[in-house]
Amino acid sequence: MNGFVNFIRDNFSAFLEWMLGIPANFQIRSVNEVGEAAFLIFVLVLPLGVMFLCDRLMKKHKPGFIGGVLLTFLVLSLALGLMGFLLSIPRLSSSVYDTFPVLCVGSPVFNLILSVIASFGSRLRNHHPIAGILLLLGAGLLFAYIFFTTFIVFLWPLINN
């Protein structure tokens, strides 16, 4: 049991180190190039779209608070998992064992927190639209940061080789 707890603690702390270390390691030197600007737009727009998709699904199906948390958690995890799967294809020749546990332990914790915020924002949006939208935007921006972290964790070894 101690080995499992140490495994979770080590990989979660590694995910936090990646999250906090990315701004220092990854710097976009100029936004004049189309590729870098497109990358920034992709990293910001796609997670915000996923967050508002979750809101739309919660409005359509009306699952309640806990059901909304689970639905949002499923959609956020699916988005990160699909992106991680697609990014792991170029790394098939090398070992993905170093990044896989870090992401599988680190991102679900943040996805669960963001799911609670998004479900609360969706329910709040019914009575207080501005506050609900601000909560959804905040959760979307935090998810964009998690999305960006996941993207860089997979691509960083490919870039540095």
**Backbone torsions φ then ψ of 32, nearest 5 degrees:** -70, -25
pTM metric for this prediction: 0.84
Taking the C-alpha atoms of residue 84 and residue 151, their distance in angstroms, rounded to an integer, is 7
Which residues, given as ranges, of the chain have pLDDT below 70? 23-37, 90-98, 157-161
What's the pLDDT score for residue 95?
59
31 CB neighbour count, 10 Å cutoff? 9
Q: CA 45, CA 79: separation in Å to the nearest integer?
A: 13
What per-residue string of b and e applies to 141-150 under the rule 16 or more CB within 10 Å gives b? ebbbbbbbbb
Task: Specify the pLDDT at position 89.
Answer: 74
What pLDDT sits at residue 159? 66
Q: Are 116 and 142 in contact (CB under 8 A)?
A: no
Contact residues for 36 (Cβ-Cβ < 8 A; gap 6+): 28, 30
| pLDDT score at 32 | 61
pLDDT score for 23? 67
Handedness of CA 86, 13, 149, 33 (dihedral sign): negative
Find out whether 36 and 30 touch, Cβ atoms under 8 Å: yes
Contacts of residue 29, Cβ cutoff 8 Å, sequence gap at least 6: none
Cα separation, 117 vs 54, in Å, equals 12
Q: Which two tokens stand for residue 107?
A: 């991102």
> How high is the pLDDT of residue 111?
93
pLDDT in the model for residue 36:
67
Task: Enumerate the domain spans of the chain.
Answer: 2-22+47-160
